[in-house]
Structure 1
């Protein structure tokens, strides 16, 4: 792993974060709902991740290094939901349906549970 790879990965991550911030703020104002902007960003990020993955896997139009920069960097900064969706797709594509179901059903519920635990731990102990 070269320093130039890490540099481009970082730049892509920052670009994703900045894009998410401004797009979410704009969409939330447009739709007057603070969750809808996030939902749209997550869907767009998932669409982009799928398209980038196909361009690399099926069309050989993106190198593995550039794919990592775009998926981990930009899409990772834009939304972690895109990585979650792409990994679920890959598990299904590989025939690992049990693991895909765990990833799709159990992990989001566990994540929500941990949000509650973190929230109420702070409220209770601090």
Structure 2
């Protein structure tokens, strides 16, 4: 299974909203500018996230989007499934060789386990930790 730009950019949107959770709505324009992404493309991604109940839209001059619940309650798996569909490395049938089918199921379950145990809060914590670990050396 290869995660497309839909899944990757969708996680970017959700991480930005998670980082600003409780501070009010965030515009897609600001997310697009900060991450050098197409605002038009992000607009296409936010609709399914809103329809799935992961984000809420706020109308008005100072409107934008907010998470529908806390970042610790939304997983990467929630986002990926909405934007990419079911998690499966390959399409297989019951007629496939049982050994191979077992392998595909184990791979699927392993990927799903990681995605479902990683929350948006975890992702922004990793991001902040990574930024803190980048030291600048001058000679």
Structure 1 length normalisation: TM-score?
Answer: 0.32
- Find the structure with the greater CA-based Rg: 2
Structure 2 length normalisation: TM-score?
Answer: 0.30
Give the strand-richer structure, 1 or 2.
2
